[in-house]
Chain A
Amino acid sequence: MAYSSKVIDHYENPRNVGTLDSEDDTVGTGLVGAPACGDVMKLQIKVNDQGIIEDAKFKTFGCGSAIASSSLVTEWIKGKSLDEAGVIKNTEIAQHLSLPPVKLHCSMLAEDAIRAAIRDYRQKHQGD
């Protein structure tokens, strides 16, 4: 399968690979996918007191498109508010990376990962 140049770029030079402390109150963690399906994404956000995502990190087990989708969304969500990040659509990710139809699930997983990280952060701050 031929990959788009953007997928190759993110695969070869992934942005924001790493881990934030999931115990930290300012960090939200999303872990989505399943090893049996061949894709697992872990996406973490660090949110400042203005509710802005000031840092994002990912680790992904999966194909090049899955790695690229998660790398791309870490770039996109940095500097956004939780509400802004929460409306990023898988179709935008797929379009930006020119994903073929068989790889659309990678972009859906990246969207799920953002939402899961936001949900985790909000759960930590329910009583605030």
Chain B
Amino acid sequence: MITRPIYLDYQSTTPCDPRVLEVMLPYFTEEFGNPHSRSHAYGWRAEEAVENARSQVAKLINADSREVIFTSGATESNNLALKGVAHFYKAQKNHIITCVTEHKCVLDSCRHLEQEGFKITYLPVQANGIIDLNVLREALTEQTVLVSIMAVNNEIGVIQPLAEIGQLCREKGIFFHTDAAQAVGKIPIDVQTMNIDLLSLSGHKIYGPKGVGALYVRRKPRIRLLALITGGGQERGMRSGTLSPPLCVGIGEACSIAREEMVVENIRLHALRNRFYKAILSELEEVYLNGDLEKRIPGNLNLSFAHVEGEGLMMGVKELAISSGSACTSASLEPSYVLRALGVEVEMAHTSLRIGFGRFTTEEEVDIASQKIIQEVTRLREMSPLWEMSRQGIDIKSIQWAAH
């Protein structure tokens, strides 16, 4: 029998919950109507399903269903929020504030806007991964149209102070967008009390299908966007194109389940994470947590195992599906820009692993994973010249290393 690796990469993607798949299936076959067809029952039934899904999404974030538009995923939602707002208001204001640890789709959208002449401020983060509200306050100008700060970081799981950012932006009449792909369904999000004006979310991060996301766009006060995709004027003109009822139904159901189960599930995930973390710390020295422990979603740990290179470690724990902040796992040769932004030394960034726990993670899997990681880190440290030097009391920084 071929056994699959234990899945501990829930920030990368999540499996579609079987309950979600079940409600999606009819919309691939008998309920195949175009939700934009107004002239017959096929269309009406599809439209009803899509609108029900829209209200399920809205309910999770305490929005009105008319404020939710469906997209292809959080990347599109982020592109639309940033470029859409920037382009619509460019005659009045031209400054956007974001943060250095944002997802690449936010940073890259900002780069594009910069090339068009917009001014972008990239806020630094503190050593715990959280932005400093005073630094944000000082960065706001008369020209600032939008502040875009992610709710939860995808690598280190830290939670930004959304309510405080929202309040600050509202006082100044600046729009607040948050990329909440890693946050919805994991922490309570309320667009009213948090004064969020635009919010991006993704289906596949919350046990829904891949290929669908949503953007919340506030109606009161109204936020205007210039569409990226034009055509038939669907989604209130903000995103043309025929909606996919099975995908919409899927993300809706995923939101509904998340809303009902979040509180209980978070308690379970906290326990699993603490069990794993304790096991690691009881057996291994020189393990460092990246990002704040308290202001963090329970399903994430990002650990640096000093003197053991991350990719080498992942190869040793091939029974586990995890990811690393080491350069070698990506096409670029730079280690994680998120860890670097926290002030983590390059060499420590090379030794990091991201471990993600989720809805289908069991206690048994967590125990196997911690034991396997302890065993491999111990083995690789015995093989590591840096570990040997550190044991001999040699300061690794005192050595003149040749760059290559």
User: Is A60 a contact partner of B383 (Cβ separation < 8 A)?
Assistant: yes
- What are the residues of chain A within 8 A of B2 when measuring CB–CB? none
Q: Answer whether A11 and B326 are a contact pair too, CB < 8 Å, given A59-B388, A67-B383.
A: no
Interface residues of A in 50-82 (CB under 8 A from B): 59-64, 66-67
User: Is B383 a contact partner of A42 (Cβ separation < 8 A)?
Assistant: no
Q: Answer whether A64 and B312 are a contact pair too, CB < 8 Å, given A33-B401, A35-B396, A38-B335.
A: yes
Q: Answer whether A63 and B316 are a contact pair too, CB < 8 Å, given A33-B404, A40-B386.
A: no
CA distance A3 to B326 in the complex (A): 17
| A31 beta carbon closer than 8 Å to chain B | yes
Write 9 A-B pairs (CB below 8 A) sorted by A numbering: A33-B402, A35-B350, A37-B403, A42-B388, A61-B309, A61-B384, A61-B386, A63-B309, A67-B312
CA distance A63 to B330 in the complex (A): 13
- What are the residues of chain B within 8 A of A39 when measuring CB–CB? 309, 404
- What are the residues of chain A within 8 A of B283 when measuring CB–CB? none
**What is the distance, in angstroms, from A127's C-beta to the closest C-beta of chain B?**
25
| A87 beta carbon closer than 8 Å to chain B | no
CA distance A85 to B382 in the complex (A): 26
The 7 closest A-B pairs by CB, nearest first: A34-B401, A35-B347, A42-B385, A63-B311, A59-B385, A64-B315, A36-B346
User: Is A38 a contact partner of B383 (Cβ separation < 8 A)?
Assistant: no
| A19 beta carbon closer than 8 Å to chain B | yes
CA distance A102 to B332 in the complex (A): 10
Known A38-B347, A42-B385; further 20 A-B contacts with Cβ < 8 A: A11-B312, A11-B315, A14-B383, A17-B382, A31-B385, A34-B404, A35-B347, A36-B345, A36-B350, A38-B328, A38-B335, A40-B385, A40-B401, A60-B383, A60-B385, A61-B385, A63-B315, A66-B312, A102-B328, A109-B404
- What are the residues of chain A within 8 A of B316 when measuring CB–CB? 11
CA distance A19 to B396 in the complex (A): 17
**What is the distance, in angstroms, from B394's C-beta to the closest C-beta of chain A?**
11
User: For this complex, into which size category does the number of interface residues on chain A fall?
Assistant: 20 to 34
Q: Answer whether A36 and B404 are a contact pair too, CB < 8 Å, given A11-B316, A63-B309.
A: no
CA distance A38 to B30 in the complex (A): 54
User: Is B383 a contact partner of A3 (Cβ separation < 8 A)?
Assistant: no
| B308 beta carbon closer than 8 Å to chain A | yes
- B368-400 interface bits toward A, Cβ cutoff 8 Å, 1 = contact, 0 = none: 000000000000001111111000000010010
User: Is B402 a contact partner of A34 (Cβ separation < 8 A)?
Assistant: yes
| B307 beta carbon closer than 8 Å to chain A | yes
Q: Answer whether A32 and B307 are a contact pair too, CB < 8 Å, given A38-B350, A42-B385, A67-B383.
A: no
| A105 beta carbon closer than 8 Å to chain B | yes
CA distance A14 to B384 in the complex (A): 12
User: Is A63 a contact partner of B312 (Cβ separation < 8 A)?
Assistant: yes
Count chain A CB atoms within 10 A of each CB in B307, B309, B345, B350 and give the residue with the most. Answer: B309
**What is the distance, in angstroms, from A69's C-beta to the closest C-beta of chain B?**
12
A-B pairs with CB below 8 Å: how many?
87
**What is the distance, in angstroms, from B374's C-beta to the closest C-beta of chain A?**
17
| A41 beta carbon closer than 8 Å to chain B | yes
Q: Is the interface of A mostly helix, strand, loop or mixed?
A: mixed
Count chain B CB atoms within 10 A of each CB in A36, A41, A42, A108 and give the residue with the most. Answer: A36
User: Is A61 a contact partner of B401 (Cβ separation < 8 A)?
Assistant: no
Instruction: Name A residues whose Cβ lies closer than 8 Å to a Cβ of B.
Output: 3, 8, 11, 14, 17, 19, 31-42, 59-64, 66-67, 102, 105, 108-109, 112
User: Is B328 a contact partner of A63 (Cβ separation < 8 A)?
Assistant: yes
User: Is B326 a contact partner of A38 (Cβ separation < 8 A)?
Assistant: yes
CA distance A39 to B308 in the complex (A): 10
**What is the distance, in angstroms, from B384's C-beta to the closest C-beta of chain A?**
5
CA distance A117 to B46 in the complex (A): 72
| B248 beta carbon closer than 8 Å to chain A | no
User: Is A19 a contact partner of B388 (Cβ separation < 8 A)?
Assistant: yes
- What are the residues of chain B within 8 A of A63 when measuring CB–CB? 309, 311-312, 315, 326, 328
- What are the residues of chain A within 8 A of B315 when measuring CB–CB? 3, 8, 11, 63-64
- What are the residues of chain A within 8 A of B307 when measuring CB–CB? 61
CA distance A59 to B309 in the complex (A): 13
- What are the residues of chain B within 8 A of A42 when measuring CB–CB? 385, 388
Q: In this complex, what residue of B is CB-closest to A33?
A: B404
| B327 beta carbon closer than 8 Å to chain A | yes
Q: Answer whether A59 and B401 are a contact pair too, CB < 8 Å, given A11-B315, A11-B316.
A: no
Q: In this complex, what residue of A is CB-closest to B381?
A: A61
Q: Answer whether A61 and B404 are a contact pair too, CB < 8 Å, given A35-B396, A36-B346, A38-B327.
A: no
**What is the distance, in angstroms, from B177's C-beta to the closest C-beta of chain A?**
35
